[in-house]
Amino acid sequence: MTTPKRAPIRAWQRMLSGRRLDLLDPSPFDIEIEDIAHGLARVARWNGQTSGDYAFSVAEHSVVVEKLFSILNPKASREDKLVALLHDAAEYVVGDMISPFKAALGIDYTDLEHRIEQAVHLRFGLPPHPRIPLKKAIKTCDIYCAYFEAIQIAGFSEAEADKFFTKPPGDIRIKIKPLSVVAAKKLYLKRFAELA
């Protein structure tokens, strides 16, 4: 007796642009900035556990991280700033999982995220593997942004945030004000257009 053959598992997602992004083998040709901005504007940081009328989106977070990166690295190239803006671009497909959950999932999730990140970078003329010092500088800004988010909208006291995040240098002040989905998407696309 033979076992019936199963249809192959669908491993692609259709985007509003009409592109079909293969999640296991993403192609730069299937990536559009409008899809990234649209998706990131709808992905909530902190699993949506923030105060205010709107969730704080990954799109807005990305713009803040790039702003922090530009402040702390005034001689950074346009290309490096674009890498900073796109640092969470893969999340337009895979969503934003909090760090403890990513760690629990293990390497397979991280590998998938990296494949999408590489395809995004290639699509916009960036190196698929940014330099280690650049990645570290962007990660520092990501952590600084998380600190501001934690104390301003995610319910952390400064003492708690000091335990889990790195406090930014004292002269840097960023106001976190969650935007509507439409406004966050526009903000992201505007900054991309300025850098691209």
First to last CA, the chain: 59
User: What is the per-residue pLDDT for 105?
Assistant: 65
- Residue 30 sits at the vertex; the CA angle it makes with 28 and 31, to the nearest 5 degrees, is 70
pTM of the full structure? 0.90
How many other C-beta atoms lie within 10 A of the C-beta of residue 120?
A: 23
Residues of the chain with pLDDT under 70: 1-3, 7-8, 98-99, 102, 105-109
Could you give the C-alpha distances from 28 to 9, 87, 110, 119, 131, in angstroms and in order?
A: 22, 16, 19, 5, 20
Set out the domains of the chain in order of their start, with CATH numbers: 27-195 (1.10.3210.10)
User: What is the per-residue pLDDT for 9?
Assistant: 74
User: What is the per-residue pLDDT for 6?
Assistant: 72
User: What is the per-residue pLDDT for 94?
Assistant: 84
User: What is the per-residue pLDDT for 135?
Assistant: 96
